Amino acid sequence: MKPIVQISLDLTNIDEALETASTALRAGVDWIEAGTPLILAEGLHGVRKLREAFPDTPIVADLKTMDGGYLEAEMMAKAGATHVVVMARAHKETIKCVVQAGRDFGVKVMGDNLGCPDKVAGARRLEALGCDYVIHHIGYDERRGIAAQGKTKPSPMDQLKEVIQAVNVPVQAVGGLSLEQAVQCPEYGAPLVVLGAPLTIDADAFKTAEGDLEGSLRLICEKVHAYKDVIINE
């Protein structure tokens, strides 16, 4: 598949999210994500506002669903989301419910292996239960907490190749990547490049980072889109 650039709107204000999304789309970003902080702050209203403003753009709703899977996915689909996120550590019935809702309402399901003791096994589980994509994810708190102990901060790059080789669906790496690492993801075989905190968002304040955001995003998009089609395992 062709590489995709996604911006995660990990913001708490819909007006700022709309402005950031407009900037990102002008720069060449393909997908926008209603990040978890935005969903907590604005809920379905925020997703609807994004859909109204960007009627033709894929919208990922980062619900991090753990229960009530069918209803959560249905609500976000009806609000305008095209993709929803369910956690690998949810019960298998929850994942199956999200997948069924995805089929019923025409949305794709992204399974997130955040918190899995074995992230490769978590990725396999998500694919086996019907997820369309795997998010290979090292969490914000996990990274900061381990670094605070004086230990090496974990990165999704640590096991990215193993996760990609373990599944036959597209993989996205998330969690503390540098700009250089994010741009390199298609080289590894991960076609979905996500930009968010701390790449384009102030990770501590959850607001848009200062500087030339549009120029930076345009350069990133040009580099990612320059890759040829990324071959997914078959």
Confidence class of residue 228 from pLDDT cuts 50, 70 and 90? confident
Which pLDDT score is estimated for 206?
45
Confidence class of residue 193 from pLDDT cuts 50, 70 and 90? very high
Q: pLDDT for 17-62, tens place per residue?
A: 999 999 999 999 999 999 999 999 999 999 999 999 999 999 999 9
Task: Tell me what percent of the residues of the chain surpass a pLDDT of 70.
Answer: 93
Which pLDDT score is estimated for 200?
60
Out of 135-144, 204-213, 223-232, give the one with best mean pLDDT. Answer: 135-144
Q: pLDDT for 153-163, tens place per residue?
A: 999 999 999 99
Which pLDDT score is estimated for 234?
56
* Inter-CA distances, 126 with 29, 64, 206, Å: 26, 13, 29
CATH of 4-225, one of 3.40.50.2000, 3.30.70.270, 3.30.70.20, 3.20.20.70: 3.20.20.70
Cis status, amide bond into 3, omega within 30 of 0: no
Which pLDDT score is estimated for 204?
57
Confidence class of residue 229 from pLDDT cuts 50, 70 and 90? confident
Q: What is the DSSP string of 84-129?
A: EEEETTS-HHHHHHHHHHHHHHT-EEEEE-TT-SSHHHHHHHHHHT
pLDDT of 216 over the 90 cut:
no
